[in-house]
Amino acid sequence: MLGFLLVVLLIPYLIAAYGLLFVKLRWGLRLFGAFIVATIGLLTAMFLVEAYPIIARDGVAVFFQTRWDPVRESYGVLQALTGTVLTSAVAMALAMPMAIGVAVTINEILPARLRGIFGSLVDLTATMPTVIFGLWGLFVLGPFLKDAVNSVSRYLVGDDVMTSPYTLFTAGVLLAIMITPYAAAVIREGYALVPKPVEEAIYAVGATRFEAAFIKLRYVRNYILGGFFLALGRAMGETVAVAMVVGGNFSRFTTNILESGITISSLIALIFESGITISSLIALQFPNAASYQYMVPALFAGALLLTLFGLAINAVAIYIIQRGQI
Partner 1 sequence: MAPQMFSWSKTFHRVTGGKIQVNYQSIGSGAGAAQFLEKKLDFGASDVPMPRDKYQQAAGRFVQFPVIIGSIVLVYNLPEIAYSKTGMYLNLTSEVISLIYMGEIKQWCDPRIKALNPGLADKLPCKDIVAVHRSDGSGTTAAFTLYLTRAYQPWNQTVGWGYTVNWPADEKAKGTGAKGNEGVSQAVLQTPYSIGYVEFAYWAKNKDKYDRVGGVAFIRNDNDGMYYFPTAENVAMGAAAGLERYTRKYGAKPAPDADWNPVSIEFTNPPRGYPILSFVYVFLWKDYAAEGYGDAATKAALLKEFFKWVLTEGQKQDNVVEGYIPLPSEVAKIGLEALNHIKP
List interacting residues with partner 1 (CB under 8 A): 67-72, 138-139, 142-143, 146, 163-166, 243-244, 246-252, 254-255, 273-274, 276, 284-285, 287-292
Q: What span, in angstroms and rounded, lies between the C-alpha atoms of 25 and 23?
A: 7
Minimum gap (Å) between residue 254 Cβ and partner 1: 6
Contact 238, 178 (CB under 8 A): yes
By beta-carbon proximity to partner 1, the closer residue of 168 and 202 is 168
Residues recorded for the chain? 326
By beta-carbon proximity to partner 1, the closer residue of 145 and 202 is 145
Compute the chain's Rg from CA coordinates. Answer: 23
Minimum gap (Å) between residue 96 Cβ and partner 1: 28
Minimum gap (Å) between residue 228 Cβ and partner 1: 29
By beta-carbon proximity to partner 1, the closer residue of 119 and 165 is 165
Q: Angle at CA 182, nearest 5°, toward 177 and 185?
A: 120
Tell me whether residue 104 is exposed, middle or buried, using C-beta atoms within 10 angstroms of its C-beta: 0 to 12, 13 to 18, 19 or more. buried
Q: Bin 170: left if φ > 0, else alpha if -120 < ψ < 50, else beta.
A: alpha
Minimum gap (Å) between residue 251 Cβ and partner 1: 5
Minimum gap (Å) between residue 244 Cβ and partner 1: 5
Amino acid at 293: Q
By beta-carbon proximity to partner 1, the closer residue of 61 and 289 is 289
By beta-carbon proximity to partner 1, the closer residue of 107 and 167 is 167
Contact 130, 114 (CB under 8 A): no
By beta-carbon proximity to partner 1, the closer residue of 42 and 289 is 289
Other C-beta atoms closer than 10 Å to the C-beta of 239 total 18
Strand partners, 275: 247
Minimum gap (Å) between residue 247 Cβ and partner 1: 5
